[in-house]
Amino acid sequence: MEKYDIVIIGAGPVGLTLSTCLQRWGYRIKHIDNRAEPTPTGRADGIQPRSLDLLRNMDLKRKIMAHDPAKVYEVAFWDPNSKGGIHRTGTWASCPKFIDARYPFTTLLHQGLIERVFIEDIEKHGGQIQRPWTISGFKNDGQDPNYPVEVSLVHVDGTMSEVVRAKYLFSGEGARSFVRDQLGVKIHHKDPISHVWGVMDGVVRTDFPDIKMKCTIHSDSGSIMVIPRENNMVRLYIQIASSTDPDFNPRKTATAEEVQQHAKEILKPYTITWDRVEWYSVYPIGQGIAERYTLDERVFMGGDVCHTHSPKAGQGMNTAFLDAVNLAWKVHHVESGFSPRNILSTYESERKKVAENLLDFDAKYAKLFSSRLPSAGEVAGASNNEPEENEFVKTFKASCEFTSGYGVAYKPNLINWSNEHPAQHPLFLAFQRGTNLRTGRYFIPSTVTRVVDANVVHLEQEIPLNGSYRFYLFAGNPAKTRNAVRDLATYMAASNSFYSVFSFKDIQKDRYHERHNPTTSFVTLTTIFNSPRAKVSIRGMLPDLLARYRDHVYADDVWDQRVPNANAAAHAKMGLDEEEGGVVVVRPDGYVGCVVKLQEGQGTSEALNKYFSVITGKKLGEERAAL
């Protein structure tokens, strides 16, 4: 019987992201989908700023951008006016300046093109999606302790079948999931109402001035959302109906022509006609969340299997990407012997909380979107003054951090250090106590100069999504931190440190050209000096252990408008002392794990060893280093 590290069911965004990560990291994968072809067109389309960071980190962003997607920088709000038409009441940045984002826009491209970018990458790394195949059964019978899950697969026409064994099974089947049903995992519906949306992608002719903007339009005839698309297209979302009746058949409620007629009414006095309709769908959405994402930490689920919500905030695909990356690195660390299995429990606790927040937000947003707003004529005095900001606009503004993806905040647990973490040491720093970084939140972006080639680079992107922890030694002023840096490297070199314990056994192998993982795949090391680039000498200023990562040595000498008075902007943005520095450990998926003060002696490495002891389940750093 064939054996695989993981069997992945479903090649939508969640399954493809998981497959891409694990394929790159060398796992043996069986990946199937029951459709003969990838999504041809339509469906989800919005890539949020945070997801674009992730795609860049996976070196997939340029392939997405090669499709020339539409980019939404601003959202326009239109409301009824006193003459029975509509008027623009304001515009607002899609990702406002208070969010420190590299890409402050939403990228619009249909799901099929996005899926293809992942599929090409999987194929490039030797994988494939087997189509059209489906799953007919599975059991975690433990008969083979290394491959405890048996999975039965069948061609959709029933002509072929196979039974395989795997370490893990992952369901990324979308809203209707065989695996979830078999496990008996229930979906909790936060809101018993099913909202039904008409979605239409096409090329239009119109005199509506904001057709190239994202717009939410309320009129006396209903509400509509306009989203610009690639290839001169525009997407219209129209809420058609809501029902609590389980037998309600939405497809009977609206044809494409009816939706077009509805759009014409809403947009009056502007006109709109269609040159071409590329995709039309009636998209019923019940808000739901799975009560569990796994029962045994062998069979996992993610994406729409676990959470469904309305399309308005454009979160479905983005949440799916992040579910997958969260699980991918944890499976990788267990299978690499870096972590005990208990780390896998944090997948559900972290990602379910994000989904709950998303559903709360979505319910609030959906209710506002569906409610009919008073026309300007109905609001006393509004015709002479600037219109009052309505609840919809207020909610939108308040939610930008969330919708851009930067609001994700994982709670303290064994990976995200806090005062309650089992690893305690006086040198741990916490938010507003020595650092601006918050554990469980994204690593603040900063721009620095790479020393070896004088390129100005985005520090947070310098380590690719390679499955390793990211270790940022903010080395402060080298004249002051020389001893602290030397001591840290010395203690890290001790055989039982978090760094050495996972170093490659075949250390003699020639890894001269390996930039990110020359000595271990557990962690990638970087050093950032508060110094002009020309004054940094890698060999002269860094012990061998850190100098080996020569491509990851940076000068913090680039001015940043967010900290205009800082000498060392990256240090300042992190809230670290510009002279004394500090150490930041970032999880493989880009969220901050812990922050430690940099100090002479053994303290810094002691704190780090304690932190990693909890995550890895190993007693680290107890042996005395040979100084």
Ligand X SMILES: Cc1cc2nc3c(=O)[nH]c(=O)nc-3n(C[C@H](O)[C@H](O)[C@H](O)COP(=O)(O)OP(=O)(O)OC[C@H]3O[C@@H](n4cnc5c(N)ncnc54)[C@H](O)[C@@H]3O)c2cc1C
Question: Which residues are at the interface with ligand X (CB under 6 A)?
Answer: 9-15, 32-35, 43-44, 111, 134-135, 172-174, 178, 199, 281, 283, 303-304, 311, 314, 316-317, 320
What pairing do the DSSP bridges indicate for beta strands 523-529 and 553-555?
A: parallel
Q: Which is nearer to ligand X, 13 or 286 (CB)?
A: 13
- CA–CA distances in Å: residue 614 to residues 297, 342, 609, 617: 19, 11, 9, 5
Residue in the structure block whose two tokens are 């020339």: 68
Considering the complex, what minimum distance in angstroms separates the CB of residue 257 from ligand X?
A: 19
- CA–CA distances in Å: residue 437 to residues 22, 363, 440, 547: 29, 30, 9, 26
For residue 496, give both structure tokens: 């039982």
Question: 535-567: buried (b, 16+ CB within 10 Å) or exposed (e) per residue?
Answer: ebebeebbeebbbbbbbbbbbbbbebeebeebe
In sequence order, the 6+-apart residues with CB closer than 8 A to the CB of 309 are: 285, 287, 315, 316, 358, 359, 362
Q: Residue 446 and residue 576: Cα distance in Å, rounded?
A: 13
Considering the complex, what minimum distance in angstroms separates the CB of residue 494 from ligand X?
A: 44
Q: Which is nearer to ligand X, 160 or 507 (CB)?
A: 160
Q: Which is nearer to ligand X, 11 or 409 (CB)?
A: 11
Considering the complex, what minimum distance in angstroms separates the CB of residue 58 from ligand X?
A: 16
Asked whether the beta carbons of 43 and 112 are under 8 A apart, the reply is: yes
Considering the complex, what minimum distance in angstroms separates the CB of residue 149 from ligand X?
A: 16
Strands (E), 392-468: 428-431, 434-435, 447-450, 456-458
Q: Which is nearer to ligand X, 71 or 425 (CB)?
A: 71
Q: Residue 140 and residue 138: Cα distance in Å, rounded?
A: 7
Considering the complex, what minimum distance in angstroms separates the CB of residue 98 from ligand X?
A: 25
Considering the complex, what minimum distance in angstroms separates the CB of residue 531 from ligand X?
A: 46
Considering the complex, what minimum distance in angstroms separates the CB of residue 212 from ligand X?
A: 19
> Which phi and psi (to 5°) does residue 444 adopt?
-60, 130
Q: Which is nearer to ligand X, 135 or 196 (CB)?
A: 135
Q: Which is nearer to ligand X, 108 or 568 (CB)?
A: 108
Q: Which is nearer to ligand X, 108 or 463 (CB)?
A: 108
Element (H, E) at 574: helix 569-574
For residue 442, give both structure tokens: 């994204």
Helix locations, 214-295, DSSP H: 256-267
Q: Which is nearer to ligand X, 199 or 595 (CB)?
A: 199
Instruction: Give the residue from 350, 346, 392 showing the smallest Cα distance to 80.
Output: 392
HSE toward the beta carbon, residue 234, CA cutoff 13 A: 22
In sequence order, the 6+-apart residues with CB closer than 8 A to the CB of 46 are: 72, 106, 107, 108, 227, 314, 317, 318
Q: Which is nearer to ligand X, 67 or 441 (CB)?
A: 67
Question: 478-508: buried (b, 16+ CB within 10 Å) or exposed (e) per residue?
Answer: beebeebbebbbbbbbbeebbbbbbbeeeee
Q: Which is nearer to ligand X, 111 or 517 (CB)?
A: 111
Strands (E), 177-233: 187-206, 214-219, 222-228
Considering the complex, what minimum distance in angstroms separates the CB of residue 34 from ligand X?
A: 4
In sequence order, the 6+-apart residues with CB closer than 8 A to the CB of 141 are: 148, 149, 150
Considering the complex, what minimum distance in angstroms separates the CB of residue 245 from ligand X?
A: 20
In sequence order, the 6+-apart residues with CB closer than 8 A to the CB of 394 are: none
Q: Which is nearer to ligand X, 238 or 594 (CB)?
A: 238
Considering the complex, what minimum distance in angstroms separates the CB of residue 101 from ligand X?
A: 20
Please spell the DSSP secondary structure of 95-153, one letter per residue.
S-TTS--SS-SEEE--HHHHHHHHHHHHHHTT--EETTEEEEEEEE--SSTTS-EEEEE
Considering the complex, what minimum distance in angstroms separates the CB of residue 44 from ligand X?
A: 4
Q: Which is nearer to ligand X, 196 or 423 (CB)?
A: 196
Considering the complex, what minimum distance in angstroms separates the CB of residue 124 from ligand X?
A: 20
Considering the complex, what minimum distance in angstroms separates the CB of residue 439 from ligand X?
A: 28
Q: Is 91 exposed, middle or buried (0-12, 13-18, 19+ CB in 10 A)?
A: middle
Q: Which is nearer to ligand X, 304 or 487 (CB)?
A: 304
